[in-house]
Amino acid sequence: MKRVFGAKKDKGPPPSIEDASSRITKRGDNVEEKIKKLDAELARYKEQIKKTRPGPAQEAVKARAMRVLKQKRMYEGQRDMLYNQTFNLDQVAFAAEGIKDAQQTMSALKSANSELKGMMKTVKIQDIDNLQDEMMDLMDVSNEIQESLGRSYNVPDYIDEDELLGELDALEADMGFETEGDGVPAYLQPDKEPDVEAELNLPSAPAGRANVQAEDELGLPAVPRASLRG
């Protein structure tokens, strides 16, 4: 049977929007090149018409120019049609990309929603409130412990005013007893330097005639003068 009817060919995947758009764009570029060549040919015929005199030769040039102009109009129509198709394909491609982005966004949102639901099952607002209350109670107990440990022992909480004045008078009397003649306490007065010679008990120098050498008016030792004899 395959020899008679032939084997069924496997169909390939359908062309994508990008493939179709690129193919149509390529065709449009080819048509645009043809239009440019026809424009150059029309410009040449225009110069020939200007240079030739009215007559059969000029009419022949005009006929060729008319034929080229018709071809140009046909190619321009094809070009516009191809560009319109490309524009439509671009719009479809843009819409398809938007749908793909929306699908990815929905998938991401669904995944995030599932994760949030799983995490919310492990975290309860009542547990958080209970934990906060327990922490506040623990902080209060800690403050009470610190205050209890910071109390002083055997310190009277209240002192009478008369007792305070008596303590101040006694302190003033003690300070007055320690002060000397100039009103400065003994512990604030400078120490006196001891007499070193008295402590060492050194003997005094013997009294005798001092050997004093005469000096001149400049303070130098005087030179003895020789006696002059007459």
The residue among 94 and 208 whose pLDDT is bigger is 94
Residue with the two structure tokens 């398809």: 96
**pTM for this structure?**
0.42
Cβ 71 vs Cβ 31: under 8 Å: no
pLDDT at 229: 46
pLDDT at 150: 79
Residue with the two structure tokens 């020899």: 3
3-class DSSP state of 9: coil
Write down the mean pLDDT value for the chain.
77
Tell me the pLDDT tens digit for each residue of 103-123.
999 999 999 999 988 888 888
pLDDT band at 47 (very low <50, low <70, confident <90, very high): confident
Cβ 16 vs Cβ 97: under 8 Å: no
Percent of the chain's residues with pLDDT above 70: 67
Q: Where do the domains of the chain lie?
A: 15-122
Q: In whole angstroms, what is the distance from residue 73 CA to residue 24 CA?
A: 19
The residue among 224 and 62 whose pLDDT is bigger is 62
| Six-digit token string for 60 | 């022949």
Cβ 42 vs Cβ 71: under 8 Å: no
Tell me the pLDDT tens digit for each residue of 9-37.
667 677 777 888 888 888 888 899 988 98
pLDDT at 56: 83
pLDDT at 227: 45
- How many Cα neighbours within 13 Å face the side chain of 84? 6
